[in-house]
């Protein structure tokens, strides 16, 4: 498997984890305030009797966790590539 395919799979997995993190953070909100998810999503919620204002923004933590995740995916790719290269072929 090529590194680009590995990176694409890693990105899809990260986006799936980000979506799960977003949904759990969004549904755990109960009152007015500023909330931060584990992967760096900032949710600013203002409620009153008539309206509900929600602002979503990304923090630098999102970039940091994505870069860290892609480094881990790259290391996994190198380990798997090295392991497959060293494995003897029996005929």
Ordered by start, the domain boundaries in the chain are 3-84
Which residues contact residue 54 at a Cβ distance below 8 angstroms, ignoring those fewer than 6 apart? Answer: 43, 44, 45, 46
End-to-end CA distance of the chain: 23
Using pLDDT thresholds of 50, 70 and 90, give the confidence band for residue 32: confident
pTM: 0.79
d(CA 50, CA 66): 38
Q: Which two tokens stand for residue 11?
A: 């990105």
Q: Across all residues in the chain, what is the average pLDDT? A: 88
17-31, pLDDT tens digit by residue? 999 999 998 888 888
So what's the pLDDT on residue 88? 66
Q: Order of strands across the sheet with 52-58?
A: 33-36, 41-47, 52-58
Distances (CA, A) of 91 to 18, 62, 85, 88: 45, 48, 16, 10
37-47, pLDDT tens digit by residue? 999 999 998 88
């Amino acid at each position: 498997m090529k590194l680009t395919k590995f990176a694409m799979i890693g990105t899809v997995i990260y986006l799936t984890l980000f979506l799960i993190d977003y949904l759990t953070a969004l549904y755990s909100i109960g009152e007015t305030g500023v909330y931060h998810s584990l992967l760096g999503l900032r949710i600013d919620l203002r409620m009153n009797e008539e309206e509900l204002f929600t602002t979503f923004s990304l923090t630098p933590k999102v970039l940091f966790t994505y870069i860290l995740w892609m480094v881990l995916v790259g290391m996994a790719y190198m380990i798997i590539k090295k392991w497959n290269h060293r494995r003897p072929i029996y005929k």
